[in-house]
Amino acid sequence: MKRLGLLLLVLAGAAATAAQAGTTPAQRFSATVDTILAQPYQPDYVPLGFDAAFDTPVANTAPAEDYTSGSIPGAPDHADWPAAFRDVVVKSGDGTLLTGKLALHPGTHPGVVVVHGFNTNGKESVVRWAALLARNGFNVLAADQRDFKAENDAGYGYPGPRQTFGWKEAEDVLAAGRYLTAQPGVSSVGLVGFSLGGQDTVLALALDRKHVFAAGLNFSGPADQATQVDSTAVPAGCATPTCTYPATDALTALVVPPYDYTDACTVLNDAATYYATDPFAILSQENAFRRQVKVTVPLLNLYSADDSLVAPFEARMMAGYEAGNPLQRTVLLQRGEHAYFFDRWWQQRAILLYFKNLLPGAASDPTVETGATVGQTPGGAPAAAQLVDLGSPTRADADALLGPDPCDTARGAPGAAMP
């Protein structure tokens, strides 16, 4: 078994070298994705030992803990930020203030912005991923999006700037990229997001006209926010006013200040009033699957077929609009659940290999490494052998999967609009 593990590491190293050696951006992207999918993925991962990304011993836990109790400061399985991280405040394009954690290394090195999902505690849910990147030599910024708990506690959010489920948050992500780019010693910047943060990664990349970001990585981001909410409708295929969205509404009550909202549509109505628009117009800005055609840097979208929050058909929506773009690819794992996949070792390797190979300056930087900080569970087949075939969906196929405006189904699909 030790010989097998050594062989896998040697092969992985050889594949990484091949990915770095690609002569064109498209070749490097293709080789990098192949390298990631060649890594063994163990859906029956057993989290043993410690996570070496931290200053003191921190137990390795199941990835699902990251967005449950592991995201709550003070909880037994929440990891404290390494000493390398300091508190910062980022200003978004409209002046909204966002709390963040920043780690910079001496010298000049690439950086990564880590984007949290729809979690009450925002960036606290991505502390392990930020710490992983910092431990491997990247400069790192993990910043909240607007109106999460830290912003609410600091007086930066409600009743001021409101959550919009992706529209204004994409501007926040882009502002985080600008902030990290402006720091001394940051040579290039990548972007990785999880769940809502994955969606907002794609939306921010589409907004990025000044090439702030050099590469993007999306884990389980909704392809279209209206479709995502509609996918949770009870009864399925309903029409307003008979629709309810119990799963979405339960998350909304937990995540959106002042924590007395009982449904997502009320949040959208209040946000629309604050930003002088309407809910349909907000949702029309959140069609990541269509806006990815505006993304000009490498973009890898990863989904799981057993995801209980983002339905696997949303991977087909993303795939339909990437067709023909040699710098974009969507893959669907058979098993992994949501955003933080079952095999923490594999996901760590995927993130590190992606940015090592694709961020300018990273491949030649000896201080930027690709070592997972948690142990590996043996026995996993290559991830490439554990994918669901997405077929060859077209843009028309993707459009056919659009859901209606969940707050007024008679208005049709907000995601069909793209300015």
In the predicted model, is pLDDT for residue 16 greater than 60?
Answer: no
- pLDDT tens digit sequence for 197-241: 999 999 999 999 999 999 999 999 999 999 999 999 999 999 999
In the predicted model, is pLDDT for residue 368 greater than 60?
Answer: yes
Residues in the chain: 419
**According to the model, what pLDDT value does residue 309 have?**
96
In the predicted model, is pLDDT for residue 43 greater than 80?
Answer: yes
Cα 133 from chain centroid?
Answer: 14
Instruction: Tell whether 126 is covered by a domain.
Output: yes
Give the pairing of strands 215-219 and 139-143: unpaired
Instruction: Tell whether 239 is covered by a domain.
Output: yes
**According to the model, what pLDDT value does residue 417 have?**
79
CB 107 within 8 A of CB 367: yes
In the predicted model, is pLDDT for residue 88 greater than 90?
Answer: yes
Q: How far is the C-alpha of 147 from the C-alpha of 122, rounded, in Å? A: 9
Instruction: Tell whether 12 is covered by a domain.
Output: no
Q: How many percent of the chain have pLDDT more than 90? A: 92
Q: Which residue has the higher pLDDT, 12 or 278?
A: 278
In the predicted model, is pLDDT for residue 46 greater than 80?
Answer: yes
**According to the model, what pLDDT value does residue 14 have?**
45
**According to the model, what pLDDT value does residue 418 have?**
67
Name the DSSP class of 390.
Answer: -
In the predicted model, is pLDDT for residue 22 greater than 70?
Answer: no
Task: Copy the structure tokens of residue 34.
Answer: 């192949």
**Stretch 360-388: mean pLDDT, rounded?**
97
Instruction: Tell whether 57 is covered by a domain.
Output: yes
Instruction: Tell whether 365 is covered by a domain.
Output: no
CATH number at residue 207: 3.40.50.1820
**Stretch 347-372: mean pLDDT, rounded?**
98
Instruction: Tell whether 226 is covered by a domain.
Output: yes
pLDDT tier for residue 316 given thresholds of 50, 70 and 90:
very high
Q: How far is the C-alpha of 187 from the C-alpha of 156, rounded, in Å? A: 30
CB 181 within 8 A of CB 173: no
**According to the model, what pLDDT value does residue 323 have?**
85
In the predicted model, is pLDDT for residue 9 greater than 70?
Answer: no
Instruction: Tell whether 301 is covered by a domain.
Output: yes
Count structural domains, the chain. Answer: 1
pTM given for the model: 0.94
Three-class DSSP labels, 295-325: CCCCEEEEEECCCCCCCCHHHHHHHHHHCCC
- pLDDT tens digit sequence for 169-186: 999 999 999 999 999 999
**According to the model, what pLDDT value does residue 11 have?**
42
**According to the model, what pLDDT value does residue 5 have?**
40
Instruction: Tell whether 361 is covered by a domain.
Output: no
**According to the model, what pLDDT value does residue 19 have?**
57
Nearest to 100 by CA among 179, 42, 163, 157: 179
Mean pLDDT of the chain: 94
Structural domain range at position 143: 46-346+384-416
In the predicted model, is pLDDT for residue 277 greater than 60?
Answer: yes
- pLDDT tens digit sequence for 380-417: 999 999 999 999 999 999 999 999 999 999 999 999 97
**According to the model, what pLDDT value does residue 195 have?**
98
